[in-house]
């Protein structure tokens, strides 16, 4: 939990543009700390849906969020545009850990950075199962650029 330094866009493999909303700003006129996790959550789920891995209605195996964290480096405020960077941090037998960064407007250094961990479970039994093969394949697109 040390306070890591912000990384640049080149360290991430995949990006999702997200529009900020007026109510994202709190009393201090900046995006509230909670809302960053909504950007995280949206980027991961968007990746899963566009990769054909998650079918909300039908998937028998689903990812449960077991851990998230975020370091906040500099503030963002509506109407800033943001881009959410994604890369694979660690693929376990039943779990996937993502590195996620929030980039403000055209800035190259992350305004915030953190991680998001899914454990895959059977929807009925709630027991851990292997990460679905289709996801393992899709995660190839999230390999850290340096590792390619």
Q: Which residues are near a copy of itself by CB under 8 A? A: 1, 3, 17-19, 21-23, 25-29, 32-35, 37-42, 45-46, 49-50, 56-57, 62, 64-72, 78-79, 114-115
Task: Find, among 116, 129, 50, 108, the residue nearest to 89 by Cα.
Answer: 116
What's the first-to-final CA gap in the chain, in angstroms?
A: 27
Q: Which is nearer to a copy of itself, 126 or 148 (CB)?
A: 126
Tell me which H or E stretch contains 43: helix 33-50
Smallest gap, in angstroms, from Cβ of residue 28 to a copy of itself?
7
Q: Which is nearer to a copy of itself, 118 or 131 (CB)?
A: 118
Q: Which is nearer to a copy of itself, 8 or 32 (CB)?
A: 32
Smallest gap, in angstroms, from Cβ of residue 106 to a copy of itself?
17
Q: Which is nearer to a copy of itself, 49 or 145 (CB)?
A: 49
b/e 105-123 (16+ beta carbons within 10 angstroms → b)? eebeebbbbbbbbbbbbee
CA distance 58 to 127: 17
């Amino acid at each position: 939990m040390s306070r890591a330094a912000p990384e640049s866009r080149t360290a991430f493999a995949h990006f999702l543009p997200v529009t900020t909303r007026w109510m994202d700003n709190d009393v201090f006129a900046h995006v509230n700390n909670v809302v960053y996790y909504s950007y995280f959550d949206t980027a991961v789920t968007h990746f899963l849906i566009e990769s054909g891995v998650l079918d909300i209605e039908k998937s028998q195996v689903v990812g449960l969020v077991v851990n998230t964290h975020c370091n906040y480096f500099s503030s963002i405020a509506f109407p800033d545009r943001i881009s959410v960077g994604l890369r694979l941090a660690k693929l376990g037998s039943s779990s996937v850990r993502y590195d996620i960064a929030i980039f403000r407007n055209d800035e190259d250094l992350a305004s915030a950075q953190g991680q998001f961990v899914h454990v895959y479970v059977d929807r009925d039994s709630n027991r851990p199962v292997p990460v679905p093969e289709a996801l393992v394949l899709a995660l190839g697109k999230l390999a850290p650029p340096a590792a390619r």
